[in-house]
Amino acid sequence: MIRFEQVTFTYDGADLPTLDRVDLAVGEGELCVVVGPTGSGKTTLLRAVNGLVPYFTGGRLSGEVVVDGRSTRDYPPRELADVVGMVGQNPAASFVTESVEDELAYTMENLGIEPAVMRRRIEDTLDLLGLHELRHRPLATLSGGQQQRVAIGAVLTASPRVLVLDEPTSALDPAAAEEVLASLTRLVHDLGLTVLLAEHRLERVLPFADTMVLVPGRGSPLVVGTAAEVMVDSPVAPPLVELGRLAGWAPLPLSVRDARRQAGALRLRLAGARPATRDAVAGAPLATLDSVTVRYDEVTALDAVSLAFGAGEVVAVMGRNGSGKSTLLAQVAGVRPPASGTVRLDGVDPVGLGPRDLVAKVGLVPQDAGVLLYGESVGEECASADHDTGLPPGTTAAVLERVLPGLDPDRHPRDLSEGQRLAVVLAVVLAPAPPLLLLDEPTRGLDYPGKARLVRLLTELADAGHGVVVATHDVELVAQVATRAVVLAEGEVVGDGPARAVVCHSPVFAPQVAKVLSPDPWLTVDEVRTALLGEPVRG
């Protein structure tokens, strides 16, 4: 169904090709997962399937990409729309209408599909992706995860034979991610749809993959095989695989059930041991919310929320899509006043602070981090950040090197992957080290080594007395770095306590290691490694 023949692609101005003599075949009715380090070329590979590379991106492409018998040399993207549906890393960027139902209908209208057929497909898609309660909602009022599901639905209504997805679960809570992946699997098995998806959160997708493609980057050849074969030597691997490597399990487990079946001997080795904990005692309050209510038209995003965030804490804010996590962070950052209640940032209302005074107290990395980038190069972004915040030249660049080593300072931000753009924004916000840091989904697009580097930075900041609040669906990040977890549901606080206690007792938000070794309170592979080998925790 998809065939790459000696495909080499080089972006304009780049010295080395992003894809180098790629040969790849994906059969009809396969679910193929593309993995690799941040910036290795996964998105480029996906965009080549429907011709966005090079028709939209520019650059030089040699070789041939053939989809369902059509070569992208002869068929531009618009003439492949009935065969290939694609959802990018930033779904909101693809929206062209104002409401959910209109967005689902838009592609079909352009393809000239009969109204009766359109109506039936819309209803099927609403049921498939659990969107029926959102059908009349304005797109602008949806959470990031809800927007992700709408974007997937908008391409599914055209009934493509190939579906290409770039990090489709990155903005979804664990339960919603499982629903979407189960829906994709049903389409593959029942309708013969070919699905090609790139994903960094491999803990979610490994059990669903028929085949896997590792894109190592730096001109290295692709590694293609089953998930079990590719994971043996992959430089990016989920906690389950890392635990299997540490314990010497063969074959490596790809699901929690497989791991639990092999975990008996490991449990005996860990008997009597307990994880080394990092429990922070909150210092002076840096931000407080007192009975804060926020509404968007008829939707109540926060409902009488009262919370305090103190110095030295790393607080994970968790909850389903649309539970109010992003709204909570926006309130603390003074983005808009609440409908009722009070917000205090270092004792003052953040809405009344000027920009310079505000950034001296709080740093916010929004969910769509790329909106903060406006320079002509990565180096210019870093230099501007140093100038604007009064930092010595090179400070922001040094933080970026810690988050994502080796990123070319001459690259334009628009040519970066989503993970690379996020790394730049993280560096810009983290470098001034404001007293309180607010991070909204800070691991979207980051590979596991990148996530570990971010964990080290956040831990250092918290140890130095800064407060960190992270709104995230990434339960593995919570396991690695959080000292406290707050759970929201429909705008209300339904849980607030030590992170270990909150996530260990949650069937939805528990990390993989906790599920495998339950009821013992282990959260991460590093905790297990330290107990077995006495090695220091790497994160």
Domain limits, the chain: 2-234, 237-272+512-539, 285-511
What pLDDT does residue 174 have? 85
Comparison of pLDDT for 529 and 371, the residue scoring more? 529
Gap between the Cα atoms of 226 and 109, Å rounded: 39
What pLDDT does residue 539 have? 36
pLDDT for 538 beyond 70:
no
Residue pair 319/502 in contact (Cβ under 8 Å)? The answer is no
CATH code for the part of the protein at 2-234: 3.40.50.300
Gap between the Cα atoms of 2 and 536, Å rounded: 45
Portion of the chain with pLDDT greater than 70, in percent: 98
Query: What residues form DSSP beta bridges with 91?
Result: none
Gap between the Cα atoms of 271 and 135, Å rounded: 52
Among the listed ranges 88-92, 204-208, 473-477, 512-516, which one has the minimum average pLDDT value?
A: 88-92
One-letter amino acid at 49 equals: V
Q: Please tell me whether the overall predicted TM-score, pTM, comes out greater than 0.85 for this model.
A: yes
Q: Same CATH fold, 285-511 and 2-234?
A: yes
Give the strand order in the sheet containing 19-26.
19-26, 2-10, 60-67, 70-71
Both tokens of residue 186? 């049903």
First vs last C-alpha separation in the chain: 41
Task: Give the chain's mean pLDDT.
Answer: 90
pLDDT for 219 beyond 80:
no
What pLDDT does residue 505 have? 80
Q: Are strands 211-214 and 31-35 parallel, antiparallel or unpaired?
A: parallel
Comparison of pLDDT for 220 and 44, the residue scoring more? 44
Residue pair 484/314 in contact (Cβ under 8 Å)? The answer is yes
CATH code for the part of the protein at 285-511: 3.40.50.300
Both tokens of residue 23? 């040969």
- What is the mean predicted confidence (pLDDT) over 509-530? 92
Gap between the Cα atoms of 242 and 262, Å rounded: 14
pLDDT for 309 beyond 90:
yes
pLDDT for 179 beyond 60:
yes
pLDDT for 144 beyond 80:
no
E-strand ranges in 91-193 read 162-166
Q: Cβ-count burial of 505 within 10 angstroms (0-12 exposed, 13-18 middle, 19+ buried)?
A: middle
Other Cβ atoms closer than 10 A to 8: 15
Gap between the Cα atoms of 149 and 152, Å rounded: 5
Measured torsion, CA atoms of residues 255, 260, 262, 266, in degrees rounded to the nearest 10: 120
What pLDDT does residue 280 have? 61
Query: What residues form DSSP beta bridges with 486?
Result: 317, 496
Both tokens of residue 113? 């599909």
- What is the mean predicted confidence (pLDDT) over 320-339? 93
Both tokens of residue 104? 């689902």
H helices of 395-506, in order, are 395-403, 418-430, 448-463, 475-481, 499-504
